[in-house]
Amino acid sequence: MLKQPTPETAPLVRKRVSDPLPVQILLIGLMLLFFIGFIFLPLGLVFAQAFQKGWSVYLESITESYALEAVKLTLTTVAIVVPLNAFFGVTAAWAITKFNFAGKAALKTLLDLPFAVSPVIAGLIFVLLVGSRTPFGSWLGEHGIKIIFSTPGIVIATLFVTFPFVVRELIPLMEAQGRDEEEAALTLGARGWQIVGKITLPNISWGLLYGMILCGARSIGEFGAVSVVSGHIRGQTNTVPLHVEILYSEYNFAASFAVASILVFLALLTVALKVSMEKKFQKNSSHH
Amino acid sequence: MGLFQTKRRNILPGFGLSMGYTVFYLSAIVIVPLSMIFFNTFPMGWDPFVHAVTAPRVLASYRLSFSTALFAALFDAVAGLLTAWVLVRYRFPGKQFLDALVDLPFALPTAVAGICFATLYSPMGWLGATLTKWNITIINSATGIVIALVFIGFPFVVRTIQPVLEEVEQEIEEAAHCLGATRWQTFRKILLPHLFPALLTGSTLAFARGIGEYGSVIFIAGNLPMKTEIAPLMIMSKLDQFDYAGASAVALVLLLISFSMLLALNAIQEWQQKEYR
Amino acid sequence: MGIELKNITKKFGGYTAIDDISLNVASGELVALLGPSGCGKTTLLRIIAGLELPDGGKIILEDKDTTNLPPREKNVGFVFQHYALFRRMTVFENVAFGLKVLPRKARPSGTEIRDRVEHLLKMVQMEWALKRYPSQLSGGQRQRIALARALAVNPKVLLLDEPFSALDAKVRQELRRWVRKLHDDIHVTSIFVTHDQEEALELADRIVVINKGRIEQQGTPQEVYDHPANAFVYNFLGNVNVFHGRVHNGKVTLGSHRVDAPDEFKNTEEKASQAFVRPHEIGISRIRSSEADLEGTIQEVRLMGGQIGLNLECEGFEHPIEAEIPRDLYINLQLSRGDKVFVSLNRVKVFTGDYAI
Ligand SMILES: Nc1ncnc2c1ncn2[C@@H]1O[C@H](COP(=O)(O)OP(=O)(O)OP(=O)(O)O)[C@@H](O)[C@H]1O
Ligand SMILES: [Mg+2]
């Protein structure tokens, strides 16, 4: 790795002292006030509530069997959703960035569509498609396949909600990298899968990982869409966020926040990973 | 559709395969499911449709979702601009930490945010207790919804303004100074117009997200009919009554609003590109 | 025959990038494709390598029709304009890539690959960089690695797209000589693209001048330089003074002067023409040596390495005439700005027609 100033620190060096000090203090103070009200207080509250009845209750709440079942279901969902959307992301980004075809812009817009859809609608559409009261759904039901109010429903609703995350990271990255290296590999006798495996994937590995982390974080936390298709059956179709909701609505606040604290921890981890990977990105891009 | 054809044979391998899979997966996960909204709404006929989406409770929910999302987006515009400004322009200890935390609302499950705000502002909560003394109620009110939506929309504004602000050329400001402008004039006349497209984009994103938001809102909203029922909740309750047509009708209107926001956003971005190179 | 192109045509939408080009390159020959930016050089090279498919025509490599073969089966070495080194691989892995992706049966063993890569790196004088990544190399070094990588698979044909364009003048010169020597050693049929006439003249066995997707002329550097086929080629190869005038009965009008036209214009009717004279073929003296000499005033003197460049204002000529004379002559004649001198135009090249520059 070459030692170069990262783009982040470089402009700081020549940055002028801008506003007068009182203005700076005022603005920083206002921002801190906002952060306290909207970030720190909620975060602090989660842990305060989670531990209000002490460690033992906390541990019990997060190791109780329904909680563990919820964790298992959430992990299952993530384990299915992230690879599927990651594979799709790579495939779609390959098609879009390595070839020219009519309708490319329209296709890119379609890929972003799930972002514009309310989570509740994301759940609704699958109820309308494969719910037990629809023709397709009842046909499936006759053949013993249940989607809505069971795990497959949770998985496809989550697939929909997190659909754009990976592909959105990859397209700009691969567009910037161009096709030169792939073409060079081609002239050197490489086959399709060798090009993808040895050239393209290593080149996009960080972007792919980044997209997968965002996709994973959202899969863990998705509430609205999953809430519609889940059926809220404890121990069966309850994901971690749904479990938090149920405990909360039963006024079991300590347990609810205890489980929520796991999610907060994961969110903080995601944010930390995001920051460290962005640094990595900048270092990599400063080489080329 | 020209989607499947190219004028020339492709040199790199795998176009047919990757394109085929892309279109298949996109259709299976997104297009076909979304089209169910239309298929469930059309058979209703026009009058029942209008009846369903103009029922007083539904109208009240649209009005509430729209207005709270708008207020939250406006608040986010101010708070986001302030935060972006401070994070880009100033140096102080802990800055990177705060910068990282801007993304928290993206990463935090909405349900967790929901129960946090509901508890904070409950009559016995950390903030609610004080506010109750002053006779201010946040919980079960539109204000509560706005607070939840401010939290959700905040990163959109900061993250769209930040890169633009970072790229503002120092010379532009210095030139304005040399011409005798005060700092405030420079900000209002030079910087703000420059930042405006990004500010608009960010707030529109926050607004669009706010209209559809569910998880963070329902806990603090209290869901009182005609008063604090948001539009996504209307869909939910229609679903609970197995009124699929009604739910799709409400969803269709909401979708159309969201898509027009998306189109407006594209228009903003095009205008932005035309305006600045 | 190393490379045979027959009536290659390529269109991008409605734009014809390659317009019916036919070209033969003998085995072991080093040919330069020379032309201005956007004339289709890269496109032609990519067509030969199979990275672009022609709309018409045939590509025959070593007597085998490869028009519709994928690049993988063409066995063509391609050095990209911006190198296209694999950024996530070390220099060693880059050069070894073409060997490692061979089908198992044809793939050399690990030690054979190692030996071959080391041999190639030694050849391009980069053996010390084995473990480096492309981002840790300079432009000229990357260029050599790209070359070694292309040569690793023993290509039948080597194609180089503006191999020196991204380098500074000095490195460029060095690498150019080095490539010529390398080619003399290994004798692989090669085509390289350039828009630098000096590079083409110095390096190539043969030059093919291309303009707007068509071949204007091909021949040895000497032929092309001394006997340009048309005004475009003449103008493109080196600095030149252009005079717009008329040719009539063996005389050309240049400004207010008339000079003898070359033989082929002996008996022509009056026609619009262009006359070209290279700066170094303009004679300067203190005394009139012939009737045809022009009288000029030195307007500007420029130091150009071993040569001295002069801008001469001659009466009857709209633009100043550029001349280049050896330094010795300049000193002998004791010239300086404002001096009056006699100017003779030697080897005037006349083209009729309405070619516009
Ligand atoms: N993929 C493409 N689509 C459309 N037009 C193209 C494409 N590739 C090349 N062209 C056009 O074909 C013409 C020839 O391009 P080419 O790259 O071969 O030029 P070149 O001679 O290599 O120029 P340079 O010296 O600048 O590299 C140009 O006018 C270019 O705009
Ligand atoms: Mg080129």
Nearest CA to ligand 1 atom 22: C42
**What's the confidence (pLDDT) of residue A18?**
66
Share above pLDDT 90 across residues of chain B, in percent, rounded to a whole number: 52
Lowest mean pLDDT among A69-73, B121-125, B142-146, C248-252: C248-252
Residue bearing the CA closest to ligand 1, atom 6: C12
Evaluate if residue A7 carries a pLDDT over 80: no
C-alpha C8 – ligand 1 centre gap (Å): 15
Type of residue numbered C167: L
Beta pairing class for C257-260 and C340-345: unpaired
Ligand 1, atom 2: closest residue by C-alpha: C12
Partners of A111 on chain B (C-beta within 8 Å) are 26
Mean pLDDT score across all residues of chain C: 87
**What is the tally of structural domains in chain B?**
2
Ligand nearest to the CA of B7: 1
With contacts defined as CB-CB under 8 Å, which chain B residues touch C53?
Answer: 8-9, 11
Contact criterion met (CB < 8 Å) for C71 and A187? yes
* pLDDT band at A99; cut points 50, 70, 90: very high
- Quick one: closest CA in A to B112, which residue? A260
Pocket test for ligand 1, best of C8, C11, C12 (most atoms within 8 A of CB): C12
**Which of A128, A183, A186, A248 to probe by mutation at the B interface, max B CB count within 10 Å?**
A128
User: A-C interface: how many C-beta pairs under 8 angstroms?
Assistant: 70
Same domain, B218 and B197: yes
Average pLDDT over residues A239-247: 93
Compute the distance between CA of residue B34 and CA of residue A75 in angstroms, rounded to an integer: 26
Nearest to B109 among A114, A160, A263 (CB): A263
Q: Which of chain C's residues have a Cβ under 8 Å away from the Cβ of B9?
A: 53
**CB neighbours (10 Å) of residue C309?**
18
CATH dotted code for C241-352: 2.40.50.100
Q: How far is the CA of C81 from the centre of ligand 1 (A)?
A: 13
Mean predicted confidence (pLDDT) in C159-169: 84
| CA C38/CA C17 separation, integer angstroms | 8
Per-residue buried b or exposed e for B176-199, using 16+ beta carbons within 10 Å of the residue's own CB: beeeebeeeebbeebbeebbebbb
Task: Answer whether CATH 3.10.310.10 is correct for domain C3-236.
Answer: no
Same domain, B174 and B265: yes
For residue C43, the CA-to-ligand 1 centroid distance in Å is 6
Min distance C74 CA to chain B CA atoms (Å) = 13
Kindly list the domain boundaries of chain C, sorted by start residue: 3-236, 241-352
B230-256 tens-digit pLDDT: 999 999 999 888 888 899 999 999 999
Q: Whose CA is nearest to atom 18 of ligand 1?
A: C40
Task: Give the domain ranges of chain A.
Answer: 21-50, 53-285
**A191: chain C residues, CB-CB within 8 Å:** 72, 101
Confidence of residue C140 (pLDDT cuts 50, 70, 90): confident
Q: What is the DSSP string of chain A?
A: ------TTTHHHHTPPP-S-HHHHHHHHHHHHHHHIIIIIHHHHHHHHHHTTTHHHHHHHHHHSHHHHHHHHHHHHHHHHHHHHHHHHHHHHHHHHHH---TTHHHHHHHHHGGGGS-HHHHHHHHHHHHSTTSHHHHHHHHTT---TTSHHHHHHHHHHHTTHHHHHHHHHHHHHH-SHHHHHHHHTT--HHHHIIIIIHHHHHHHHHHHHHHHHHHHHH--HHHHHHH---TTTS--HHHHHHHHHHTT-HHHHHHHHHHHHHHHHHHHHHHHHHHHHHHHHHTT-
Report whether pLDDT(C178) > 90.
no
Q: What is the mean pLDDT of residues B106-112?
A: 94
Which residue is closest in CA terms to ligand 1's atom 29?
C38
Mean pLDDT throughout C25-50? 93
Same domain (yes/no): B69, B38: no
Q: Is B277 on the interface with C (CB under 8 A)?
A: no
List beta partners, residue C214: C211
Distance CA B258, CA C317 (A): 71
Note the ligand closest to the C-alpha atom of C209.
1
Residue C295: per-residue pLDDT: 85
Question: d(Cα A49, Cα B264) in Å, to the nearest integer?
Answer: 42
Report yes or no on B135 lying in a domain: yes
Q: What does the mean pLDDT of chain B come to?
A: 87
Interface with chain C: mutation pick from A188, A196, A204, A288, highest number of C CBs within 10 Å = A188
Of B101, B232, B262, the CB nearest to A39: B101
Contact list in B for residue C71 (CB cut-off 8 A) is 11
Question: In terms of residue numbers, what domain contains B27?
Answer: 9-44
Average pLDDT for A58-74: 91
What's the predicted TM-score (pTM) here? 0.85
Q: Is B179 on the interface with C (CB under 8 A)?
A: no
Q: What is the ipTM of this complex?
A: 0.88
Of A2, A181, A203, the CB nearest to C136: A2
CB contact under 8 A, A41 and B120: yes
**Considering only residues 110 to 149 of chain A, which have any Cβ-Cβ distance to chain B shorter than 8 Å?**
110-114, 116-121, 124-129, 131, 133
Closest CA to A239 of A150, A159, A165, A161: A150
- Over range C211-238, report the average pLDDT: 89
pLDDT in tens, B18-49: 999 999 999 999 999 999 999 988 888 899 89
* Residue B185 pLDDT: 80
φ/ψ of residue C294, rounded to 5 = -100, 155
Residues framing ligand 1 (Cβ under 6 A)? C 12, 17, 35, 37-43, 195
- Residue A187 is nearest to which of C76, C86, C136, comparing CB atoms? C76
For the cut 60, the answer to whether the pLDDT of residue A284 exceeds it is: no
Reading the block at residue A117, the tokens are 């859809």
Whether residue B233 is contained in a domain is answered as yes
Question: What separation in Å is there between the alpha carbon of B52 and the centre of ligand 1?
Answer: 58
Q: Whose CA is nearest to atom 17 of ligand 1?
A: C42
Say yes or no for a CB contact (<8 Å) between B258 and A116: yes
For residues C156 and B186, the model is more confident at C156
* Nearest in space to C252 (alpha carbons), one of C343, C356, C355, C345: C345
CATH of the domain at B144: 1.10.3720.10
Structure tokens at A139: 């046909």
User: B2 in a domain, yes or no?
Assistant: no
| Same-fold call for C3-236 versus C241-352 | no
Q: Which chains touch A (3 or more CB pairs under 8 A)?
A: B, C
Min Cα separation B122/chain A (Å) = 12
Closest residue in A to C106 (Cα–Cα): A189
* % of chain B residues with pLDDT over 70: 95
CATH of region A53-285: 1.10.3720.10
**Closest ligand relative to B11 C-alpha:** 1
Task: Quote the pLDDT of residue A83.
Answer: 97
On whether residue B3 sits in a domain, the answer given is no
Chain C residues inside the 8 Å CB shell of A288: 87, 135
Choose the closest CB to A128 out of B85, B99, B244. Answer: B244
The tens digit of pLDDT for each residue in C54-100 reads: 999 999 999 999 998 888 888 899 999 888 999 999 999 999 999 99
A188 has a pLDDT exceeding 90 = yes
Mean pLDDT of the C34-62 span: 92
- Output the six-digit token pair for C354: 């309405």
